[in-house]
Chain A
Amino acid sequence: MSAVVFYLATIVNYFFIYNILAWGLNIQFGYAGILDFTYITFMAVGAYVAGVTSLGPPQPGTGVVYILGWHLPFPIPILLGGLAAAALGLVVGLLAINRLRSDYLAIVTLSVGIILYSLVGNLTNLFDGFDGLVGVPEPLNGQVHLGVNTYTIFYMAVTGAVMVLLWFVAQRLLRSPLGRTMRAIREDVDVAEAFGKNTFRIRLWAMVIGCFYAGVGGALLVGFVGAFSPDGWSTLETFIIWAILLIGGRGNNWGSVLGSFLVVAVLSEATRYLPAIPNNAFLEPALRNMVIGAGLIVVLRFRPQGLLPERKANFSEVRTAAPGLEASHAD
């Protein structure tokens, strides 16, 4: 098992997980226009819940304290993670959606994230505070007993399968009349209301479904890495998902795939080409983050629709629905 294969498998796993995360945010923002600046919080909830439901009870003497510890088998913890995130999304959505300005929604989501971060950190009995969870069991490894390298490749199948399933759901939603109405709400909420659409309920659905995706992504991540702490829960992470979505092309799920490919590639490979700067170990990640931030601003300015813009709806029903019209308007 060469190191290269292992390295690639690791990157692919991250790539798959980022796809799932980006699609969730796409459903919230790309479909329905919801500005969620705390997407990472929902991912964290998914990670934590999946962690404490797949871990056994906390062992005294290890110094690690957390709730639940049900030691449930795959795929239940992942499902629970998704549902927990969705439930939180429901609460936040009920509070914040339909307020008067999109700035409010952004502020409230950001505030919720910061508050929950502080609560999780301070309520150490919940998820082991700022130290976080460790030793989260790898899904299915109790059955297959693989070594670290082989498991990484095996895990690609796990994340890949979940990813494909969630892809179909996201595409189906997009192509449905509901997806179309979500996009109308995104374009102009008041007009959608004026045409009888319950915009509050529909946006709430988008919020909740997107949060489910975030939770599943977080759950898959914690199964892969085996640990999760508030360190992995920063606005930087939310920003990376936003960058993936906007650079790739919002509203377009293929765009998110392209975006996550680019961002994952940049994140892992870019620093390879920087000269080593002595005494400044923290300069590297700082520079990398600055580049991401600046890069996003530039892309937003000069190609706001992203690399792969939204695809125009194609109604093959047109020919069958109105053959007379087609004939009389033969262009």
Chain B
Amino acid sequence: MSILWLSIGFGFVTASVLALASVGLSLQFGVTNYVNFAYGSFLTLGAYFAWTTLTGGHLPLWLAIVIGALGVGVVGVLSDRIVFRSFTRSGFPLFYLLIVSFGLSLILGNVVQGVWGPSPQFFAVVSQFPLHIGPFLLTPAQLVIIGVAGVSMVGVHLLLTRTRLGKAMRAMSDNPALAQVSGIDINRVTTWAWFISGTLAGLAGIALAISTASFEPAFGENFLFIIFAAVIVGGIGQPYGAMLGAVLIGMVTEVSAAFIDPAYSTDLAFVVLIIMLLLRPQGLIPAQGKA
């Protein structure tokens, strides 16, 4: 029984990382209506930015994390401005953007490889002794990750429900045509969506890098499919669905590792995805306006 509780605890950690990543992807998808296949590279960049600031600049960990995350936010905005907008403005069909984002992931992944090299790196985080929190056994780092994710989710919720920007984002997601004619500044909202998406991706990447033993240039892209699983299971384009999907997938992968060979626990997440696609392709919480 205690193993079950332990793995549920780990499930919270994975769910936290996934939640950060999935919500970021969902928000951007909601506003722009195409999937960013370079999103995995955003996670990678977040980890490397933070790591470089930490080890090279000798800044305190919290500051490195902030810089890392915001740095990816900037990358997100630049990706939109330099690459994607050039296509959306000229009326290209959506599938071109998928291919373009695919190409961007190649570029970003190789930039990381070129600049930092292919060898694995790791975050040297002090005091990794796990603490007993009720039935769970978690390190301080993992607790921080859960905390950061929780705070971010609340932040996103407040953003979407209390701010004009958030409401504009929801409007653009639900009904782009209506949003356009009701005077929303599409460009401004899009830019903010990319910034927030990038920042959340950066946070997720840092969290993932901290909670795993090491990270290397492809680790973000390899995680991307699990993010997709969470997003699709939860309901693509719907941030609350993404949160729910993150919890579900996070729990499935960790709890299953207690019972089956851990190498296959992520494969199990994939099985959940397939079942979802067969039974209810719109996800648990379907988004409006995304057919």
Contacts and interface: CB of A to CB of B under 8 A. Distances in A.
User: Is B one of A's binding partners?
Assistant: yes
Interface of A: 33, 35, 37, 95-96, 99-104, 106-108, 110-111, 114-115, 118-119, 122, 235-236, 239, 242, 246, 280, 282-283, 285-287, 289-290, 292-294, 296-297, 300-301, 304
Main secondary structure, interface of A, reads helix
B98 A118 contact: no
B59 interface: no
A293 B222 CA distance: 19
6 contacts: A102-B95, A104-B281, A286-B110, A294-B107, A297-B83, A300-B87
B110 A297 contact: no
A111 B110 contact: no
6 closest A-B pairs by CB: A293-B106, A286-B114, A293-B107, A286-B110, A293-B103, A111-B225
B270 interface: yes
B110 A289 contact: yes
A301 B87 contact: yes
A304 B274 contact: no
Main secondary structure, interface of B, reads helix
Contact of B98 (A35, A96, A285): A35
Contacts of A246: 99
B155 interface: no
Contacts of B281: 99-100, 104
B35 A106 contact: yes
B104 A235 contact: no
A29 to B, nearest CB: 9
Given A102-B98, A114-B222, A115-B267, A290 B228 contact: no
Interface string B68-110: 0000000000000001001100101011101110111111011
B80 to A, nearest CB: 14
A271 to B, nearest CB: 14
A235 B114 contact: no
B291 A100 contact: yes
A287 B273 CA distance: 35
Interface string B245-269: 0000000000000000001101100
Contact of A95 (B266, B267, B277): B277
Given A235-B106, A286-B114, A95 B278 contact: yes
Contacts of A283: 114
Contact of B118 (A100, A104, A282): A282
B98 A282 contact: no
B35 A115 contact: no
B147 interface: no
Interface residues of B, number: 48
Interface of B: 34-35, 37, 83, 86-87, 90, 92, 94-96, 98-100, 102-107, 109-111, 113-114, 117-118, 221-222, 224-225, 228-229, 232, 236, 263-264, 266-267, 270, 273-274, 277-278, 281-282, 290-291
Contacts of B35: 103, 106-107
Contacts of B109: 289
Nearest to A294: B107
B267 A118 contact: yes
A297 B98 contact: no
A100 B95 CA distance: 14
Contacts of A106: 35, 37, 95, 98
Contact of A297 (B100, B225, B274): B100
Contacts of A100: 281-282, 291
Contact of B103 (A101, A296, A304): A296
A289 B105 CA distance: 11
A235 B218 CA distance: 11
Given A111-B228, A289-B107, 6 more contacts: A110-B37, A110-B228, A235-B102, A280-B114, A282-B117, A289-B110
B277 A99 contact: yes
A111 B111 contact: no
Contacts of B114: 280, 282-283, 286-287, 290
A173 B77 CA distance: 44
Contacts of B270: 111, 115
A236 B92 CA distance: 24
A118 B98 CA distance: 24
Contact of A111 (B86, B90, B102, B273): B273
A104 B277 contact: yes
A237 B162 CA distance: 46
B102 A242 contact: yes
Nearest to A283: B114
A290 B104 CA distance: 9
Contact of B229 (A111, A122, A301): A111
B106 A236 contact: yes
Contacts of A104: 232, 236, 277, 281
B92 A304 contact: yes
A287 B95 CA distance: 26
Given A110-B225, A119-B267, A297-B83, A290 B95 contact: no
A208 to B, nearest CB: 19
Contacts of A102: 94-95, 98
A280 B118 CA distance: 10
B158 to A, nearest CB: 28
Nearest to B105: A235
Contacts of A297: 83, 100, 103-104, 107
A239, A286, A300: most-surrounded residue (chain B CB, <10 A): A286
Nearest to B96: A300
Contact of B113 (A107, A115, A286, A301): A286
B111 A290 contact: yes
B103 A239 contact: yes
A304 B96 contact: yes
